[in-house]
Amino acid sequence: MADDLVLEMRDIRKEFPGVVANDEVSFDVRRGEVHALLGENGAGKSTLMNILYGLYKPDGGEIRLGGKPVSFSSAREAIEAGIGMVHQHFMLIPVMTVAENIVLGTEPRKGVLLDEAVADRRVADMAKTFRFEVDPEARVEDISVGQQQRVEIMKALYRNADLLILDEPTAVLTPQEASDLFEILRTLQREGLSIIFISHKLNEVLEIADRITVLRRGKTIETVPAQGATEALLARAMVGRDVLLRVEKKQAEPGDVLLEVRDLHVRDDRGIEKVRGMSFDVRAGEIVGIAGVDGNGQSELIDALTGLQKIESGTAMIAGRALTHASARAALDAGMGHIPEDRQRRGLVLEFSIAENIALHDYAKPPDAKWGWLFPNRMVQRARTLIREFDVRGGGPLTRAGGLSGGNQQKLVAAREIARDPKVLIAAQPTRGLDVGAIEYLHRRLVAERDEGRAILLVSLELEEIMSLSDRILVIYEGEVVGEHTGEVTEEQIGLEMLGGREAEAA
């Protein structure tokens, strides 16, 4: 390992209140290599890179850049030391031109004026050298996402970066754009740049990286050369063999189809088609888990099914009622329950009391209200019953929801949704960020509701959760259902499908 290390990170530790995001992580990069950082969501990849880039301060450990110990307190210092980062969400100004974005902050001047000609020329030269194929004078909002990403890379190169961090660079790209990106990365590599490539897609990591470091739950699992590594091996290292949270449950007894989705197409707010022809059923008395890597259409699917996003084409029926032109209200009335992904942004009005939050869907109906008149006492009454039934701790009906702990907030959301006696219950990331006790409670509750005869659609990024709760698993990739499993299936198998590794499966 003595050969020309550009970067060494030794025993990096970073704690957020109560959670160890990086636990003695070690990692190094050689000159001219592409080093992939592989791990699931929340494995600590981004934290590690934010530490390197000066955005977070580590609690322990040492960073050496080119052999010298460094400690950055801002991104600016990291940039000056030759580190460039391409964020997942681009730091580009849409209304400005490519050249303007690139030179911003270190502009070429002609007297007091901005020397646009020189800026354009330099950018054009750079584009030619690295074959970026980007027009310096085009406005960023007018070029494709793939080209925008190249602009981000050029920004780093323009500032003489020799270590480039790419945070999930292919997440926003089409396959064609991704392979163009790899072409560029190889060119950069030949020019002597070192690249850190963060990803959770196995196939592309194997394709581009020289070495691969796998992180899991904030720890370094292993660093292996890409030569000789296989998808199956990496998947196991990534997912791990930790003890699963096993949930006691009987064999499911599926009944009628309560949620029927046929050839569903949904676009996101930016007009990009994120759900591309999904079809599936969820029956009464079963839990169907949707496994997939973040951003493969989960949010758009849920929003469409709950009336929060327009259905582009196809149908979704709740207990026989079509949702094609539905509003959130119509979905609720058809018998849809929804534990949303983000309880603080969407699931709760944090400034409202527990009682008011419980009334969020039915505030205008008896017993909460009649003829537009609210009955707060009845709301409180109902809240008191539900607080007891769902074991929400930390306050009474009039306590502000924002004052509850995360686990109790989630129980509150679950209480509201389940108490409405929905036919279909969508649980999106129901246990994200919760402690073990709350997770266990919610899991048991979901199984109990299944046994009550509800159709439950579980969407989670935690494979373990999907595996332990679901009676049936659908794997989605890029807006399509790519696998369905009912019986025994290994995590590796699902992991491979989630990561788009269908070809490897055949091999």
Partner 1 sequence: MTDPGPSPPPEQAAETGTLAARIALKQRAGGIVVPIFTVIFALVMSGIVVAATQHSVHTALLVYKEIFDGAGLNWIFHPTTSLLDINAYNLSQTLLQTSTLILTGLSVAFAFRCGMFNIGGQGQYFVGLIVANWLGVNFAGMNPFAHILLCIVAGTLAAAAYAGIAGVLKATVGAHEVISTIMLNWIAFWLASWLFGDGGPLQNSTQPTVPVSNQVSPGARLPDFWGVQGFQGVHIGLFIALAAVVVFWVLLNRTTVGYEVRAVGFNPDAAAYGGISVKKNFIRAMAISGAFAGLAGAIDMLGGTTNYQFGQLDVPFSQVGFIGIAVALLGRNTAVGTLFGALLFGGLLYGSFHGLGSSSVIDPQLAGNLTYIIQGLIVLFIGADVLILYVWNSRKKLRRPPAKPAKPAEATAA
Partner 2 sequence: MSTWAARLENPLSASLRDARATGALGIFLGALAAFLAIPPIEARTVTWPILVGIVAAALGVWTVTRGRRRLGWGAVAAGVLGIGLGILATRSSTENLGTAFDATLVAQTFSFATPLVFGALGGMFSERSGVVNIGLEGMMLMGAFWGVYGADKGGSWAVGLLVAAGVGGLVALVYAFFAIHLRSDQIVGGTGVNFLAVGITGYFFVQLYHNNPIPNGVSLLPNIKIISGNNFFAQAIGDLNILTWASFALVIVAYVVLFKTPIGLRIRACGEHPRAADTVGINVYAVRYGCVVLSGVLAALGGIYLSEGPQGNGSFLFNMTNGRGFIALAAMIFGNWRPAGAFGAAILFGFSSALALKLQVYSGSAATLFQILPYVLTLIAVAGVIGRTVAPAADGKPYVRQ
Min separation Cβ 190 and partner 1, Å: 37
Tokens in use for 264?
């569903």
Min separation Cβ 114 and partner 2, Å: 5
Q: Which residues bind partner 2 (CB under 8 A)?
A: 55, 75-76, 79, 91-96, 100, 103-107, 109, 112-114, 116, 139, 141-145, 155, 159, 269-271
Adjacency order of strands within the sheet including 19-30: 19-30, 5-16, 60-65, 68-70
Instruction: Give 248 or 269: the residue with its C-beta nearer to partner 2.
Output: 269
- 3-state SS, 280-312, equals EEEECCEEEEEECCCCCCHHHHHHHHCCCCCCC
Q: What does 93 bind: partner 1, partner 2, none (CB cut-off 5 to 8 Å by kind)?
A: partner 2
Instruction: Give 335 or 407: the residue with its C-beta nearer to partner 1.
Output: 407
Residue where the block lists tokens 């020289």: 210
Instruction: Give 254 or 479: the residue with its C-beta nearer to partner 2.
Output: 479
Tokens in use for 501?
């590794």
Tokens in use for 19?
């959670």
Min separation Cβ 397 and partner 1, Å: 6
Q: Provide the 3-class DSSP secondary structure of residue 335.
A: coil
Tokens in use for 315?
């149908």
Q: In whole angstroms, give the CA distance from residue 79 to residue 13.
A: 22
Burial class (CB in 10 A: 0-12, 13-18, 19+), 11: middle
Min separation Cβ 76 and partner 1, Å: 23
Structural element, H or E, at residue 200: none
Q: What does 380 bind: partner 2, partner 1, none (CB cut-off 5 to 8 Å by kind)?
A: partner 1
Q: In whole angstroms, give the CA distance from residue 316 to residue 275.
A: 13
Min separation Cβ 325 and partner 1, Å: 15
Instruction: Give 139 or 400: the residue with its C-beta nearer to partner 2.
Output: 139
Instruction: Give 256 or 351: the residue with its C-beta nearer to partner 2.
Output: 351
257, amino acid identity: V
Q: What does 346 bind: partner 2, partner 1, none (CB cut-off 5 to 8 Å by kind)?
A: partner 1
Q: In whole angstroms, give the CA distance from residue 78 to residue 86.
A: 13
Q: What does 322 bind: partner 1, partner 2, none (CB cut-off 5 to 8 Å by kind)?
A: none
Q: In whole angstroms, give the CA distance from residue 46 to residue 167.
A: 7
**DSSP of 62-121:** EEEETTEEE--SSHHHHHHTTEEEE-SS----TTSBHHHHHHTTS--EETTEE-HHHHHH
Instruction: Give 1 or 371: the residue with its C-beta nearer to partner 1.
Output: 371
Min separation Cβ 326 and partner 2, Å: 23
Structural element, H or E, at residue 42: none
Min separation Cβ 273 and partner 1, Å: 22
Q: What does 61 bind: partner 2, partner 1, none (CB cut-off 5 to 8 Å by kind)?
A: none
- Going by DSSP bridges, is the β-strand pair 211-216/194-199 parallel, antiparallel, or unpaired? unpaired
Q: What does 404 bind: partner 2, partner 1, none (CB cut-off 5 to 8 Å by kind)?
A: partner 1
Q: In whole angstroms, give the CA distance from residue 440 to residue 124.
A: 57
Q: What does 269 bind: partner 2, partner 1, none (CB cut-off 5 to 8 Å by kind)?
A: partner 2
Instruction: Give 17 or 111: the residue with its C-beta nearer to partner 1.
Output: 17
Min separation Cβ 112 and partner 2, Å: 6
Q: What does 128 bind: partner 2, partner 1, none (CB cut-off 5 to 8 Å by kind)?
A: none
Instruction: Give 298 or 306: the residue with its C-beta nearer to partner 1.
Output: 306
Q: What does 21 bind: partner 2, partner 1, none (CB cut-off 5 to 8 Å by kind)?
A: partner 1
Instruction: Give 159 or 267: the residue with its C-beta nearer to partner 1.
Output: 267
Q: In whole angstroms, give the CA distance from residue 25 to residue 23.
A: 5
Residue where the block lists tokens 């008149």: 373
Q: Which residues bind partner 1 (CB under 8 A)?
A: 16-19, 21, 42, 306, 308, 327-329, 332, 338, 340, 344-352, 356, 359-361, 363-364, 369, 372-374, 376, 380, 384, 387-388, 393-400, 402-407, 432-435
Residue where the block lists tokens 């070192």: 194
All residues at 6 or more sequence positions from 395 whose CB lies less than 8 Å from its CB, including other chains: 354, 403, 404
Min separation Cβ 299 and partner 2, Å: 17
Q: In whole angstroms, give the CA distance from residue 31 to residue 34.
A: 9
Instruction: Give 69 or 94: the residue with its C-beta nearer to partner 2.
Output: 94
Q: What does 225 bind: partner 2, partner 1, none (CB cut-off 5 to 8 Å by kind)?
A: none
Min separation Cβ 183 and partner 1, Å: 34
